[in-house]
Structure 1
Amino acid sequence: MLRQYELVERVLDYDPDADEALLNRAYVYTVQKHGSQKRASGDPYFSHPVEVAGLMTDLQLDQETIITALLHDTVEDTLATIEDIEANFGGDVARLVDGVTKLSKIEAMPEDERAAENLRKFLLAMSEDIRVLLVKLADRLHNMRTLHFIKNPEKRRRIARETMDIYAPLAERVGMYEYMREMQFLAFEQLEPEAFKTITGRLEQIRKQDGGQVDAIALAIKQSLAEAGLNVEVSGREKHPFSIWKKMAERHVSFEQVTDIMAFRVITESEADCYAALGNLHTTWQFIPGKFKDYLSTPKNNGYRSLHTSLIYENSMRVEVQIRTREMHQTNEFGLAAHWAYKQGDRPDGAVGWLRDLIEIVDASHDAEELLEHTRMAIYQDRIFAFSPKGALHQLPKGSTPVDFAFAVHTDLGAQTVGAKVNGRHMPLRTPLNNGDVVEIIKSKKAVPQLSWLGFVVTGKARAAIRRSVRLKERAEVAEIGSKLFDEIAARVPAKIGKKAIKAAVKRLELEDEEALMYAIGAAKIEDRDVMEALVPGCTADMDESEDWSSQERAISIKGLTPGVAFQLAECCHPVPGDRIVGLRKQGEGVEVHAIDCFELASGIDADWLDLSWGQKSKGAVGRIRATLYDRPGALAEMAGIFGQNMANIRMLTLSQTEHPFGVYEVDLEVQDIAHLTRILSALRASDAVAQAERI
């Protein structure tokens, strides 16, 4: 662990103007606050933030970042507050610490929700100041280095999985490849211990048996380039175990079949020398077609620049060679942090584009599962390059389609997409794009994202935007139904209902606004009686039960059951009075009532069969129907009107599928009997708004 004076000296070596007293105070503060706390390794807890601060000094970051690293766990793990941090170290440090700190209120959430909320807060803070990410990555890297001290294997695997899915990709996206590789190495060891052991064992054998082969190849490359008049440095190494394992999995090959295990790096003096070295290598050794990548003319989003090629060396050995300048190498290994000059106000280019996309995903994601899925898509996929007709370059994940391209350009363009030209030719929207494709998006202001696009888009930004649009459209349509039902409810209230009464009702029902009220009614999330009472308090006190169909208790009686035996109507077939029914009684459970033609009955259920029939007073059963509506304004309202005219209460309404020009809905209706349900289906089939209606 770094001592106090060692840490301060490190900072002063590269930043003589740093506030030495403030750095000392931050070191003492974290030691005092963490006190006698211990890590799983048995070391004092404060050793962790000190080591994280040490990693930040390796990157020569400003003093605010160093102090943030020292204090990053104090709010989460001690009695310190953000207000304390601000009072002692200033507003900027307090904001950075808050960005890195996890929310305490999420500790009671389920694991996925907790991870998603952490990620959501972290991404939002990171969008305001990228130094939050730099501290967080160093924090995670040090935690991974000490992960083996945690005794619980499940906890180790959970942390390793989160590192592999979120933090290693984030390190890659800001160009911090050194961090990324070490995180992947340590996470791989926990997640795939057998594969890790096998691959590292094979690499050790290669090192013992190669007889200095790596050094010999590096020397041959250097000599060839020296003869061409180029002054270069050449180094060689085996590829990392995780990189080899990933290649084995992608290509479905064994370790022996992975031919390019060795990689060599050529460091030149200038960019022109990079291309000269490439030409020399390609004329000296045969290069492998399809393996050349020029990241000098088209850098990666994270600023990575290098030439990549693969050569066939002696004895048909394949080797990968990367060619770059020294400045490029420094940037490539430590990315954004390598040229972070925050005090001068210089923010690195390219650090905000993909970050803006991530923030859009945060805003558009509906729940924890979606947020994690979309974020992983956004930060961890191989890239292709595609161009707009005006020559603007866009990097996209491999497998992206014109719809992904449109959303990458702008969310509004993606939403208005109706067609696309790829390299001047009209192509289907589901067409995968290739490197170098020129994509022209055809749009219409009347267009909306289609649910079917989720079947082929691959970017997290596109998926999040499509899902959000579909949800908003569905909500608007359900609210339209609710508005029509509201008119019927209001007509039963002994008063004229105006805007004032509706506003008061919204407040009494603790809803956001009038639209939320209509949605709640349309989605059957609120009873008619509750709406009436909210509109005119006290109006339902003397109401006869028969006046309030929605509040009637189900009066289902079944013949053939022993008195007092519990039963329930099966969810799979939704039997209603008039159906021929049968009962299934399982050991230790009540009786489940099925329609005689239910598919579940043919699945060989281990239960006693009972011959049952409906009682005379049975009413209020729920039948389920599927209605295919034309996708046009007013269609849902017309269907709701049919239900209202036939005195059928909506218990549940779900949009199950959209495929232009149709929307398919599943509806649970409270009906009197089979004849009542049949009349409703007949009325639906007679409607111009309905393409098809059937009972499920």
Structure 2
Amino acid sequence: MSDRDKTEAEVFEGLLSTIKNTGKQYDVDAITRAYQTALTAHEGQKRVSGEPYVMHPIHVAEILVQLGMDTDTIVAALLHDVVEDTPTTLDIVEKQFGKDVALLVDGVTKLGKIPFSSREEQQAENVRKMLLAMAKDVRVIIIKLADRLHNMRTLSVMRPQKQRDKALETMEVYAPLAHRLGIRAVKEELEDLALRYLDPVAYEEIEHMLELKRDERNQFIDHIKERIIQRIVVQDGKKIHLEGRVKSVYGIYRKVYMNGRSFDEIYDIYAVRIIVDSVIECYNILGIVHDMFRPIPNRFKDYISTPKPNMYQSLHTTVIDKEGIPFEIQIRTWDMHYTAEYGIAAHWKYKAGIQGKDKLEERLAWVRQLLEVQQESEDVEDIVRSIKTDLAPEEVFVFTPRGDVISLPVGATIIDFAYAIHTAVGNRMVGAKVDGRMVSIDYQVKTGNIVEIITTKNPTQGPSRDWLKIVKTSEARNKIRSWFKKERREENIAEGRSELEREFKRNYINLPEPEMREFLTNIAKRQHFASIEDFLAAIGYGGISLSRIMPRIKDDYQRTYRTPEPDPTKLVPKPKKERKGQSGVIVEGLDSCLVKFARCCNPLPGDDIIGFVTRGFGVSIHKRDCVNVLAAMQDETQRDRWVRTHWAASVKETFKSTIEIYATDRQGMIADISIALANMHIQMHSLNAREAKDKHVVIQITLGITGLDQLGNIINIFSKIPGVISVERATQ
């Protein structure tokens, strides 16, 4: 029976059954009272799907039970929408269920009643409020993650634009927060659900590829598990627990579509997880695994000695079995496993009643850091940008000369590293050494680098404004802004005035001095500054983004002073130049957009192409006759996202294209193909061969090609190799 066919009472009984199956002590009476309160408060309210609204908080509570959360969290989940959506007040909640539950409900409640100038500003303020409440009690954000997870599971009933907006917010804000809290299952499900609406064509393609290889994959993982059991359990007599894992859809998407790899180049699609009782056993098992399988160089990661910032610990090694198939093995203890699956929920201090500071407080230091960073900036949306960059899943681990580990997002520079150590170190930095060698100021640090920051003793020395264009983290950017704000006020005012004058000139804003001063005074007040000078200084040190507020300024100017737009007939027309699109593709109607090439059809210059606008990941380029395009064109809700594209007049880039050769399985065939490629000076990215029937072989080669003409020439040359029966361009 589906949830739509169940009554509220039946769904709540399911929650109680889940609670009972955990074997943990819960206050069922308090949970039942919370359900009755929510049922009464939400009486008559329906979700967009038509089901009673109270079903939603029950499902949120069930997700939290599965995460192992405590009674107060479950009660707050059942009540999390009553203050926002019903006449029930926070005081009533506190009187009936206590101060802790009221704090949790208040932290989750949105700021819908406060007017904001934009949706982005409202989103940013909601996130800021959540983090403020989370700094007091981390359970706030865990409830919010469960709330968002259930909303994403039921997003299909929403209108298409709402689906895409919610999916983008989930990908940019909630999935990174789940990652930083270490709640892997929630993070991966949020990413996969969001991707389904942001890039449905790619999502369907990856699901299709996984489905095609499902039986093969299960058989392979079972075979590997059996070999490990025979060696470690039967021969060595060790006690272990084994699990098989498949990489998430979004994890594959990041590597295939965003990093430009082929499906066969992803080594960790398959993984086997070995769980043992102690850290010593982890390293012992690693030695046995490397004796059983051949390890791939540079694919070993020790997250036990160097844990990730979200508390994750494991040994990761990628190996190859005798069939030549690469796969990942993860080795961890049971404590590490619970932390990897449930993150911060696995270390729940409220269960044990621990008071005061403990390791949990240390792990939440980044929350306070995010809030402190945001307070340095007048731009409230900085906090969302911080989450997008500073909490990104991809991280690097860099060492100080003393051996301390600093975690930074991928792409971070030595400037970010310096400010991560201390504000004063960043402000007085004049250079840096990486692994003992001097590097430039924009050097991007990599995992394993030992970085030594060189500082000056000159107290007047400070950062450069150009650093704002180089740094990756919001922490570094805001510390640089803060220095200029405090130390260079006159310089900031001059810089801000210069920038404002340039923007005014570009937007044809021109007024006599008295009127201009009145106009600027009104703008400064609207931006919460006491004077024009404070407003100009904020522009100068970067606290205000002028490009963000310029449209509003221009509207106010035209409405107040009614300045006519310049006569287009008097402007000297500039000859139009064809725009050179990213990767040689021009997207009609869009400038400087991110372009990625679909792996389903691998378009080349010369192919008839079309683009699909994804949400947050640029434009995906397909061949017009791609099977996925033909199928997706039938979807009415997606049609307006297809855009016209064409190749630029001159394309110098190379593109990955796969050629499939069907040939006689003779000695020297691969060598002849390699020699032909070398003679043509063609770059080869990968080569895979498999046996076919009747002593034949199928060879797939992925090459770097400039266009259809070169592809035709390659196919012609390969066709002349003795024993080659057919050469075709592969679709995948």
2:222 counterpart letter in structure 1: D
Residue 145 of structure 2 corresponds to: 137
| 1:32 lines up with 2:32 in the alignment | no
2:118 & 2:454 partners in 1: Cα distance?
43
Residue 418 of structure 1 corresponds to: 430
Residue 462 of structure 2 corresponds to: 448
Distance 1:209 1:309, change over 3 A: closer
Residue 640 of structure 1 corresponds to: none
Residue 173 of structure 2 corresponds to: 166
Matched ranges for 1:268-347 at <5 A = 268-343=276-351, 344-345=353-354, 347=358
Conserved 8 A contact 2:61-2:74: yes
CA offset digits 1:181-218 (Å, max 9, x no partner):
11111111111111111111111111235582221122
1:457 & 1:85 partners in 2: Cα distance?
45
Aligned residues: 515
1:433 counterpart letter in structure 2: V
Matched ranges for 1:553-632 at <5 A = 584=567, 586=569, 601=572, 603=574
1:46 & 1:481 partners in 2: Cα distance?
55
2:538 & 2:478 partners in 1: Cα distance?
27
Residue 433 of structure 1 corresponds to: 445
Residue 253 of structure 1 corresponds to: 261
2:185 counterpart letter in structure 1: E
1:114 & 1:7 partners in 2: Cα distance?
33
Question: After alignment, is 282-291 or 462-471 more displaced?
Answer: 462-471
Superposed displacement of residue 481, structure 1: 11
1:3 & 1:524 partners in 2: Cα distance?
54
Superposed displacement of residue 11, structure 1: 5.3
Residue 147 of structure 1 corresponds to: 155
Superposed displacement of residue 242, structure 1: 1.4
SS of residue paired to 1:311: strand
2:247 & 2:535 partners in 1: Cα distance?
60
Superposed displacement of residue 90, structure 1: 2.4
CA offset digits 1:112-132 (Å, max 9, x no partner):
112111111112221221111
Residue 55 of structure 2 corresponds to: 47
Residue 100 of structure 1 corresponds to: 108
2:24 & 2:222 partners in 1: Cα distance?
41
Superposed displacement of residue 417, structure 1: 2.8
Conserved 8 A contact 1:288-1:311: yes
Residue 75 of structure 2 corresponds to: 67
Distance 1:411 1:102, change over 3 A: farther
Conserved 8 A contact 1:34-1:45: yes
CA offset digits 1:28-66 (Å, max 9, x no partner):
111111111111222211111111112222233222211
**Residue of 478, 484, 488 corresponding to 1:464:** 478
Residue 388 of structure 1 corresponds to: 400
| 1:195 lines up with 2:202 in the alignment | yes
1:524 & 1:10 partners in 2: Cα distance?
54
1:203 counterpart letter in structure 2: L
SS of residue paired to 2:396: strand
Residue 365 of structure 2 corresponds to: 353
| 1:77 lines up with 2:90 in the alignment | no
Superposed displacement of residue 412, structure 1: 4.0
1:345 counterpart letter in structure 2: I
C-alpha root-mean-square deviation of aligned residues, in Å?
Answer: 3.4
1:310 counterpart letter in structure 2: T
Superposed displacement of residue 468, structure 1: 4.3
Residue 611 of structure 1 corresponds to: none
Superposed displacement of residue 141, structure 1: 1.0
- Identity over aligned pairs, percent: 39
2:388 counterpart letter in structure 1: R
Residue 665 of structure 1 corresponds to: none
Residue 240 of structure 1 corresponds to: 248
CA offset digits 1:343-372 (Å, max 9, x no partner):
422654452232233222322343254332
Question: After alignment, is 466-475 or 109-118 more displaced?
Answer: 466-475
1:461 counterpart letter in structure 2: E
Distance 1:356 1:425, change over 3 A: farther
Matched ranges for 1:635-646 at <5 A = none
Conserved 8 A contact 1:475-1:519: no
1:433 & 1:104 partners in 2: Cα distance?
41
1:267 & 1:188 partners in 2: Cα distance?
31
CA offset digits 1:286-318 (Å, max 9, x no partner):
111111000111111111110001011122111
Matched ranges for 1:431-580 at <5 A = 431-443=443-455, 444=457, 445-470=459-484, 475-477=489-491, 516-517=530-531, 519=533
1:466 counterpart letter in structure 2: I
1:524 & 1:27 partners in 2: Cα distance?
50
SS of residue paired to 2:572: helix
1:7 & 1:260 partners in 2: Cα distance?
36
**Residue of 127, 133, 139 corresponding to 1:125:** 133
1:375 & 1:195 partners in 2: Cα distance?
25
Superposed displacement of residue 88, structure 1: 2.5
Superposed displacement of residue 166, structure 1: 1.2
SS of residue paired to 2:166: helix
Residue 639 of structure 2 corresponds to: none
Distance 1:140 1:521, change over 3 A: closer
Distance 1:72 1:15, change over 3 A: farther
TM norm structure 1: 0.68
Conserved 8 A contact 1:232-1:266: yes
Conserved 8 A contact 1:449-1:466: yes
Superposed displacement of residue 69, structure 1: 0.9
Question: After alignment, is 358-367 or 93-102 more displaced?
Answer: 358-367
CA offset digits 1:220-268 (Å, max 9, x no partner):
1222222233222222233222111111124413334435421111112
SS of residue paired to 1:304: coil
1:121 & 1:276 partners in 2: Cα distance?
47
SS of residue paired to 2:62: helix
SS of residue paired to 1:125: helix
Superposed displacement of residue 381, structure 1: 4.0
Superposed displacement of residue 585, structure 1: 5.3
Distance 1:10 1:284, change over 3 A: closer
1:87 & 1:473 partners in 2: Cα distance?
50
1:382 counterpart letter in structure 2: E
1:86 & 1:46 partners in 2: Cα distance?
20
Distance 1:386 1:153, change over 3 A: same
Question: After alignment, is 226-235 or 261-270 more displaced?
Answer: 226-235
Residue 183 of structure 1 corresponds to: 190
Superposed displacement of residue 418, structure 1: 3.0
Superposed displacement of residue 440, structure 1: 3.0
1:510 & 1:308 partners in 2: Cα distance?
54
SS of residue paired to 1:94: helix
Distance 1:15 1:109, change over 3 A: farther
Matched ranges for 1:658-677 at <5 A = none
| 1:223 lines up with 2:194 in the alignment | no
Superposed displacement of residue 67, structure 1: 1.5
1:104 & 1:567 partners in 2: Cα distance?
36
